[in-house]
Amino acid sequence: MQITNNQILNMMPPQFGLFGLLFAFMNRLQAAGDSFYEEITCKQWFLLACMNLYSKEAPTANELAETMGCSRQNVKEILNALVKKEILVLKQDDNDKRKQRIYLTQKQKRLEKKYQNKEMDFLKLLYEGISDDEIKNVFQIISRMEKNLTGATGGLTGVAGIQAKDASEAEKNMAQMISHSYDISDKKYIEPILAELK
């Protein structure tokens, strides 16, 4: 028996329900993205989408990792796959020979053109019944959650731009918050779940 999102919200505190929903949504979104494109995966598409944010200067792997919110190693794996497919090229920086900058190829531009209308149709379907104001609110909320997460993890992605002492304070706050989390053995949370599964 499938449990609906509204049932999940009634079974547990909303913070836990939203946390789980974000994971489930990302899994579904990635699966949809992987089946959407013939030539690339959803993660590869996301890297290409982030590339479009760099209009003044081609990015480095480190800069892309920060924008994407993932490790440099992860970005390098995605980059290598896209370079093999001739969708991206890496070139040495003119001013700093230690750096490599990432450039889009003509093949990527053809790919972008091929899926442009299909992507717009997908977004229309995804946001159906949701107003621009609601989208902006969700964007702002997730941005704040991302800033909190970055602070709690010591500024790993650099989004929050906080100092080390602030990061350790944020880690203490998070540990305190976790220690005050609800007890999973508490019957008021468990009984509704068991009742739904019968």
What is the DSSP code string of 118-148?
HHHHHHHHHTTT--HHHHHHHHHHHHHHHHH
How far is residue 82 from each of residues 17, 88, 190, measured CA to CA in Å? 36, 6, 46
Residue ranges matching CATH 1.10.10.10 in the chain? 12-128
- Examine the pLDDT at 49 and tell me if it is beyond 50: yes
pLDDT reported for residue 16: 83
pTM of whole model > 0.75?
Answer: no
- Examine the pLDDT at 92 and tell me if it is beyond 60: yes
List, as one string, the DSSP characters of 44-91. Answer: HHHHHHHHTT-SSSPPPHHHHHHHHTS-HHHHHHHHHHHHHTTSEEEE
CATH top-level class of 12-128: mainly alpha
Mean pLDDT, the chain, whole residue set: 78
pLDDT reported for residue 21: 85
- Examine the pLDDT at 171 and tell me if it is beyond 70: no
Q: What is the pLDDT of residues 142-155, one digit of tens each?
A: 999 988 887 766 55
pLDDT reported for residue 11: 75
Interatomic CA distance for residues 16 and 182, integer angstroms: 10
- Examine the pLDDT at 51 and tell me if it is beyond 80: yes
pLDDT reported for residue 186: 44
pLDDT reported for residue 193: 43
166 against 8, higher pLDDT? 8
Contact status, residue 84 vs residue 78, Cβ threshold 8 Å: no
Confidence of residue 105 (pLDDT cuts 50, 70, 90): very high
Stretch 155-183: mean pLDDT, rounded? Answer: 41
Q: What is the pLDDT of residues 115-147, one digit of tens each?
A: 888 888 888 988 999 999 999 999 999 999 988
